[in-house]
Amino acid sequence: MSESTSANTPKPSSSVKLVLLGEAAVGKSSLVLRFVNNDFQENKEPTIGAAFLTQKCSLPTRTIKFEIWDTAGQERFASLAPMYYRNAQAALVVYDVTKPSSLTKAKHWVAELQRQASPGIVIALVGNKLDLTNDGNDATAGESQADNEAEPSAADGEDASGENADEQDASSGDARKVSTREANSYAEEESLLFFETSAKTGVNVAEVFTAIANAIPESSLKSGRGTGAGTGQTTLGGGRPAEDSRVNLGERGASTAKEGCAC
């Protein structure tokens, strides 16, 4: 939007294509809106399809322009996901710390990404809705929590249904159902970045994106402005990804056109 801001800075600028994945209603869009607009909406309507947003992130040595695909979490959209992660350099896989089934879903996404996405993709596992837990009450809550929190049992109940997850432990006001330890150890096993965030309070949101920006290898960054040609992996920049993939797309396009066309 504001190219001018980066124009002032001599820092090189690169764009990074990032995709958000995760079960419905874990807060993907809220995380993005917090990051992009520093805004939060209670009871946001579910995303339909996918939304495309951009935001700059300034690092000491360079500026990263995130091109973000915020995908809808509903199952019926799952088949479209490859379109969004195919060329992504980074992925944010989000679950809800109050809903164990959402971590299971997140693990499925991680597995799919590891199997199908670009080999060098940076994946961050993000447990959202920290504000609903006791840790969310102190603003310092964050990555460093992996040491405490011996939340038992709940984390094992991967198939615990949503209804159970919604039942809050009224006495403590802590709705956490996925322990930090469990998620963190999984993230370590799979070499993922790991954060617990609250899009509502803003805790750790910017940190996730900064960490991703830092984790993207310099080699896979290309200079931002408009140069479309490059290796397959880096043709993700903004409006010109098409050149490389156009042959494929053409084929697909032709067939979908036939299906979709009523003539």
Partner 1 sequence: MEATTPRPPQDGDVIHKTNSTSPTTVESPTSRATSRSPSPEDQPPPLPPRPNTLFLLDEGVSSGNLQSKATTAVSVTDIAHTDGGKENYPTRGFTGNLKAKASLSHLASSRASEAGDSASIRSSVPHTEVGEVENVFSDFLAGDVGNGPQNTTGLLQFPEFQADDGEEDYTSEFEPVGEVGENGENEELVLERWKAKRKHYLILSAAGKPIWTRHGEGGLISTYVGVIQTIISFFQDSDDHLNTFNAGDTKFVIVTKGPLYLVAISRILESDTQLRLQLEALYMQILSTLTLPSLTHLFSVRPSTDLRRPLQGSETLLSTLADSFTRGSPSTLLSALECLKIRKAHRQVINNTLLKTKVSSLLYGLVVAGGRLVSVVRPKKHSLHPGDLQLLFNMIFEAEAVKAGGGESWIPVCLPGFNSSGYLYMYVSFLDLREDNINIADDTTTKEESVAIVLISTDKESFFDLQEMRNAFVEQMQKNNSLKIIKQAIDTGRPATTDIVPGTVLHHFLYKSKANVQFTMSAYDPEFSTISRRRRSVFRLDLWTWDTDFIGSVHHCVSQSSSSFAWITPVFELYCVAGPNANRNALAQSASKIVHWVQKEEERLFIIGGAVF
By CB under 8 A, residue 5 contacts partner 1: no
Partnered with residue 92 across adjacent β-strands are 20, 124
Contacting range for partner 1; rule: CB under 8 A; set: 102-110, 116-124, 150-158, 238-246: 238-246
CB of 145 to partner 1, least distance (A): 30
Partnered with residue 169 across adjacent β-strands are 174
CB of 205 to partner 1, least distance (A): 15
CA torsion through residues 8, 9, 12, 16, sign = negative
Contact assessment for residue 68 and residue 32, using Cβ atoms and an 8 Å cutoff:
yes
By CB under 8 A, residue 4 contacts partner 1: no
CB of 240 to partner 1, least distance (A): 7
Amino acid at 252: R
Contact assessment for residue 50 and residue 70, using Cβ atoms and an 8 Å cutoff:
yes
Contacting range for partner 1; rule: CB under 8 A; set: 43-51, 111-119, 126-134, 140-148: 43-51
**Which two three-digit tokens encode residue 59?**
């690092």
By CB under 8 A, residue 70 contacts partner 1: yes
Position among 58, 104, 220, 245 found at the interface with partner 1 (CB under 8 A) = 245
Contact assessment for residue 85 and residue 122, using Cβ atoms and an 8 Å cutoff:
no
Contacting range for partner 1; rule: CB under 8 A; set: 108-116, 139-147, 198-206, 232-240: 232-240
By CB under 8 A, residue 183 contacts partner 1: no
Contact assessment for residue 203 and residue 131, using Cβ atoms and an 8 Å cutoff:
yes
Residue with tokens 């060329």: 87
Residue with tokens 């996918």: 50
Complex with partner 1: residue 45 or 189, whichever CB lies closer: 45
CB of 77 to partner 1, least distance (A): 7
By CB under 8 A, residue 119 contacts partner 1: no
By CB under 8 A, residue 21 contacts partner 1: no
* Residues ≥6 apart with Cβ < 8 Å to 216: 16, 64, 89, 90, 122
93: helix, strand or coil: strand
| Binding residues for partner 1 (CB under 8 A) | 1, 24, 29, 32-33, 36-37, 39, 41, 44-54, 68, 70, 72-77, 80, 83, 238-242, 245, 249, 252-253, 256-257, 259-263
